[in-house]
Chain A
Amino acid sequence: MPTAFVDILTDNFGEFSSGFWVTVRLVVVAFAIAMVVGTLIGAFRVAPNKWLQRAGGLYVEFFRNIPLLVLLILLFYGLRDKNGPGIPITGFVAGVLGLGLYTAAYIAEALRSGVFSVSKGQIEASLSLGFSYTETMRRIILPQAFRTVISPIGSLIIAMIKNSAVIGVALALDDLLKVGRTIQSRNFQTFETFFWAGVGYLILTGLVTVVIRQLENRYAIKR
């Protein structure tokens, strides 16, 4: 590689690096939120109670069909608006909340199909052995369901990594893409700068792919 190309990376390594870690933080926190909320909504969706199912359904339909950018603007500019609630939510919190709640809808659906893939016979057997519904869920169904959904959840994490790039430019946060854009505005080397930013994202998605494959080999239940 010509030296100039690599120079763009080395000259700005500090900034690139800090942007990289901001992206990592965004994804990790958003994933935590998404798993918690997603499991909850997933549980609603498979609950025997029709109202819970419907509530879960509404959540999923809303958060799957609304654009992430609109959600982020709602949470950040909408809540901070002086002509509105005026809640001083920070860019980072709005970002992880938006990304987390958005992805939770997909996790809920993935879990739902995971639960359904566990044979009905197990539920019946468990209930007849005297386990309550919640215990059945917790001890028998969900652990198996989680093992089925390792692959889809891996895909969702990759989707989150890509979606996180919107947070920086939309909410003026210095994540990897925003940092790339800032560096480019100074050096005008568009191709090289965005190349390195892109490499950063590919590293993240590549790592996740590898880890998920390992987890699949060890834990996944193939049906």
Chain B
Amino acid sequence: MRSTHWRMLFAALAAMSLALFVAACGDDEETTTGASGSQTTATTEPAEEAKKFEAGTTLGDIQKKGEITIGVKFDVPPFGFKNTSSGEVEGFDIDMGKAVAEALGVKPKFIEAISDNRIPFLEKGTADLILSTMTINEERVGQIAFSDPYFIAKGRILVKKDNADVTGIDTLSGKTVCTALGSTYEATLKSQAPDAKLKLVDSYSECLELLQNDTVEAISTDDVILTGMIIQTGDELKLVGDQLTQEPYGAGIKLGETEFVDFVNETFTKVKEDGRYKASFDKWVGKFTGEEAEPPSISVDEAVELVKQNGK
């Protein structure tokens, strides 16, 4: 009887061990999304006339080190995301980051900066630069320095391609719309579309699930996130309606680093003017939304004012 008891115990533990065994053994390949880490990408072109900065200044130190640490998103296509087949981080923010690195003559090192970490990373020095879908607003301007806006995300509405009923915020009455708990869109929708039925969820991935199975008819949030959803689902969804809100994105830099800020602004201006901006935009955004590139030309203060206008 002892032996049968042990057999049973063994069988049960074997069942539990099997999954653990499969997980522990095998190659250490990268599986799908989720793992955070760092990426060092070699620049493809030699640095052209990189401005030399004095040793001892922040930029000089970066040049001496030979690499600049840039915090980006790893899970927000098309701005910052990990390509699961190549293992590289890619996106619009990454392109902007590469441009800055190139202008400095150094290699870019991309680390994951989730929303909550962005400002702490700059304050602690974990990252030199943040390009992580960060909106310029009054609160943040007191904590870090921003470059001039390099992208203006607009609040829009996403529906299925064959949906002819919803064309904008005024056509939402009686329809179910999804957005994230605690987002500014909850307030915007309540004031601008009071007859819409709101479904509030913890994450936008859930919103997408609900849209796909027709529990909701529309999703409302930044066009950045909505574009990511369009990309993720192939050819099923479209953006409709005018902008509901405007969120100007800026590159984040440690407070007080005026030389650094000026340098980034110079780089951005060059990128906007010499066609690199349009190329990146078309590749990452325009291809999916059909929109045209509109490089922003406002200042940080104007950006702050713009954000204050949201929800009014």
- By a beta-carbon cutoff of 8 Å, the part of chain A in contact with chain B is 77, 80-82, 88, 91, 169, 172, 181-182, 185-186
Secondary structure at chain B's binding surface: helix, strand, loop or mixed? mixed
Given that A172-B201, A182-B181, A185-B181 are known contacts, is A82 also in contact with B206, CB under 8 Å in the complex? no
Given that A185-B182, A186-B182 are known contacts, is A172 also in contact with B215, CB under 8 Å in the complex? yes
Closest A residue to B212 by beta carbon equals A82
A193 to B186, CA, bound (A): 19
Residues on B with beta carbons closer than 8 Å to the beta carbon of A80: 213-215
Contact of A91 among B202, B209, B214, B215 (CB under 8 A): B215
- B116 CB to nearest A CB, Å: 15
Residues on B with beta carbons closer than 8 Å to the beta carbon of A77: 209, 213
21 A-B residue contacts at CB 8 Å? A77-B209, A77-B213, A80-B213, A80-B214, A80-B215, A81-B213, A82-B212, A91-B215, A169-B202, A172-B199, A172-B201, A172-B206, A172-B210, A172-B215, A181-B181, A182-B181, A182-B200, A185-B181, A185-B182, A185-B200, A186-B186
For window 157-207 of B, CB contacts with A under 8 Å fall at 181-182, 186, 199-202, 206
A81 to B214, CA, bound (A): 9
| 6 interchain residue pairs of minimum CB distance | A185-B182, A185-B181, A80-B213, A172-B199, A182-B200, A172-B201
- By a beta-carbon cutoff of 8 Å, the part of chain B in contact with chain A is 181-182, 186, 199-202, 206, 209-210, 212-215
Residues on A with beta carbons closer than 8 Å to the beta carbon of B182: 185-186
- A87 CB to nearest B CB, Å: 10
A201 to B214, CA, bound (A): 31
Closest A residue to B209 by beta carbon equals A77
| Contacts between the two chains (Cβ within 8 Å), count | 26
A185 to B185, CA, bound (A): 13
Having A82-B213, A172-B199, A172-B215, one finds 13 other A-B pairs with CB under 8 Å, namely A80-B214, A80-B215, A81-B213, A82-B212, A82-B214, A88-B214, A91-B215, A172-B210, A182-B181, A182-B200, A185-B182, A185-B200, A186-B186
Most chain B CB inside 10 Å of its own CB: which residue of A81, A91, A185: A185
Closest A residue to B187 by beta carbon equals A186
A210 to B181, CA, bound (A): 37
A143 to B207, CA, bound (A): 48
Closest B residue to A84 by beta carbon equals B213
A81 to B212, CA, bound (A): 8
Residues on A with beta carbons closer than 8 Å to the beta carbon of B210: 172
- A91 CB to nearest B CB, Å: 7
- A150 CB to nearest B CB, Å: 34
- B187 CB to nearest A CB, Å: 9
A184 to B200, CA, bound (A): 12
A214 to B22, CA, bound (A): 53
A177 to B49, CA, bound (A): 60
- A36 CB to nearest B CB, Å: 27
- B204 CB to nearest A CB, Å: 13
A88 to B212, CA, bound (A): 12
